[in-house]
C-alpha cells in the first residue's frame, strides 16, 4: 500500500476542517489546481510543529503558512494599489498609502476572514484551538494573506486580483477618505490638549468572559469627570468606543461638563 504524503497524513487528522475548506473554496469561487497550496495556507505553525515533532521519520516536514503570508501581503498590496490608482477620487500619494494601510490592517483582514468562514478551516494545534485561535484577529489576518498567496501561485495574478476585488467590493465602494480620518482617541486628545494642555485618561473598569472571548469595559476621564464608556473585545477597541462616545456627548451637550465653556466647543 502506498504511503501517504505528509500533507495527506495531515488531512487525515483534520476531517472536519476538510469540509470547511471545501466551503471556503466555494465562497472564494476558486477550485485549486494544487490543493496542497491551500492546505499550507491554512496550516498554523502550531499544528505544523506538532505534526513534525510526532513524525520525525518523514523526509519533508509539513510547512506552515508564514511563507505564503509573506507572498500574499505583496499580492494584496499590488491589487489594492492598482484599484486605488483607478479610483475616481484621484487620491494624492500620501492618502493612497494611508487608505491602502487601512484596507489591509489586521482588523480589516480579520473581518474578511470571518465573512469567509475561514476560521473553521484553519489547521491548529490542540493548544492553539483551546486558546481561541480560530477567533484571533492576528491568526485570521495572516491566514487571509496566505490564502491569497496560494491563489496567486495556483492561478496567477489576474485570478488573485479578481478575487481580491470581489472581497473588497463593499469597502472600495464606500467613501474611502473615511478610512483615514483620525481615530477617536486622537481627536479627543487633540481637543483637550489644545484647550487645557492636558490629556484624558482611560481605565479598564471591568473584564468579563473566558480568555478566548473576553469583553472589556473602559471609561475615559478628564479632570476626574467621566466623559464616556465603551465595551469591546480588546482594551484598544473599548478605548476607541469610549472616546467616540465622549466626543458624541461633548457635541450634544458642550456645556454639560464644568471644564468646557460654550466658546470652547470646537469639536
Instruction: Specify the pLDDT at position 234.
Output: 83
C-alpha cell at 170: 463593499
262 in Cβ contact with 254 (< 8 Å): yes
C-alpha cell at 40: 499550507
Separation between Cα atoms, residue 82 and residue 71, nearest integer Å: 17
Q: Mean pLDDT over all residues of the chain?
A: 87
Separation between Cα atoms, residue 79 and residue 98, nearest integer Å: 15
194 in Cβ contact with 264 (< 8 Å): no
pLDDT digits (tens, 9 = 90+) for 230-253: 888 788 888 988 888 888 787 766
Q: Determine which one of 50, 69, 142, 145 is catalytic.
A: 145
pLDDT digits (tens, 9 = 90+) for 26-51: 999 999 999 999 999 999 999 999 99
Provide the percentage of residues in the chain whose pLDDT is more than 70. 91
pLDDT digits (tens, 9 = 90+) for 45-87: 999 999 999 888 777 888 999 999 999 999 999 999 999 999 8
Burial grade of 232 (CB within 10 A; 0-12, 13-18, 19 or more): middle
Separation between Cα atoms, residue 228 and residue 216, nearest integer Å: 14
Domains, the chain, in order of start with CATH, read 6-180 (1.10.1520.10), 184-264 (3.30.160.20)
User: What's the whole-number mean pLDDT along residues 102-115?
Assistant: 88
Separation between Cα atoms, residue 21 and residue 11, nearest integer Å: 11
The question of whether 217 is a catalytic residue gets the answer no
Separation between Cα atoms, residue 241 and residue 228, nearest integer Å: 8
Burial grade of 251 (CB within 10 A; 0-12, 13-18, 19 or more): exposed
Burial grade of 199 (CB within 10 A; 0-12, 13-18, 19 or more): middle
pLDDT digits (tens, 9 = 90+) for 140-180: 999 999 999 999 999 999 999 999 999 999 888 877 876 77
The question of whether 73 is a catalytic residue gets the answer yes
Provide the percentage of residues in the chain whose pLDDT is more than 90. 49
132 in Cβ contact with 213 (< 8 Å): yes
- Strand, helix or coil at 33? coil
Q: How many CB atoms lie within 10 A of CB 215?
A: 14
Helical pair 106-116 and 137-155, crossing angle rounded to 10 deg: 70
Q: Determine which one of 40, 69, 73, 219 is catalytic.
A: 73
Q: Which helix (H) or strand (E) holds 206?
A: strand 201-208
Q: Report the candidate in 233, 267, 231, 228 with the shortest Cα–Cα distance to residue 244.
A: 228
pLDDT above 80: residue 221: yes
pLDDT digits (tens, 9 = 90+) for 85-97: 998 888 889 889 9
Q: Whole-model pTM?
A: 0.71
Q: Report the candidate in 96, 41, 48, 119 with the shortest Cα–Cα distance to residue 73.
A: 41
55 in Cβ contact with 47 (< 8 Å): no
User: What's the whole-number mean pLDDT along residues 112-117?
Assistant: 92
C-alpha cell at 156: 496567477
Instruction: Specify the pLDDT at position 72.
Output: 98
Amino acid at each position: 500500500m502506498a504511503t501517504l504524503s505528509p500533507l495527506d497524513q495531515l488531512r487525515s487528522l483534520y476531517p472536519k476542517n476538510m469540509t470547511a475548506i471545501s466551503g471556503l473554496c466555494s465562497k472564494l469561487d476558486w477550485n485549486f489546481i494544487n490543493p496542497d497550496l491551500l492546505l499550507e495556507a491554512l496550516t498554523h505553525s502550531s499544528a505544523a510543529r506538532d505534526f513534525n515533532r510526532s513524525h520525525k521519520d518523514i523526509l519533508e516536514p509539513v510547512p506552515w503558512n508564514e511563507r505564503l503570508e509573506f507572498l500574499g501581503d505583496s499580492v494584496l498590496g499590488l491589487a489594492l494599489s492598482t484599484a486605488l490608482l483607478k479610483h475616481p477620487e484621484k487620491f494624492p500619494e500620501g492618502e493612497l498609502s494611508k487608505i491602502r494601510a487601512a484596507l489591509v490592517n489586521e482588523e480589516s483582514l480579520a473581518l474578511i476572514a470571518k465573512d469567509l468562514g475561514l476560521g473553521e478551516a484553519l489547521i491548529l494545534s490542540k493548544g492553539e484551538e483551546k486558546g481561541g485561535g480560530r477567533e484571533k484577529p492576528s491568526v485570521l489576518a495572516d491566514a487571509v494573506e496566505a490564502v491569497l498567496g496560494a491563489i496567486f501561485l495556483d492561478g496567477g495574478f489576474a485570478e488573485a486580483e479578481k478575487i481580491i476585488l470581489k472581497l473588497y467590493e463593499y469597502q472600495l465602494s464606500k467613501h474611502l477618505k473615511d478610512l483615514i480620518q483620525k481615530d477617536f482617541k486622537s481627536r479627543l486628545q487633540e481637543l483637550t490638549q489644545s484647550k487645557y494642555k492636558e490629556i484624558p485618561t482611560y481605565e479598564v473598569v471591568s473584564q468579563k468572559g473566558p480568555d478566548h472571548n473576553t469583553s472589556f469595559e473602559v471609561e475615559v476621564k478628564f479632570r476626574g469627570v467621566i466623559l464616556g464608556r465603551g465595551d469591546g473585545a480588546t482594551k484598544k477597541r473599548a478605548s476607541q468606543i469610549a472616546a467616540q462616545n465622549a466626543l458624541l456627548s461633548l457635541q450634544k451637550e458642550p456645556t454639560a461638563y464644568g471644564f468646557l465653556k460654550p466658546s470652547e466647543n470646537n469639536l
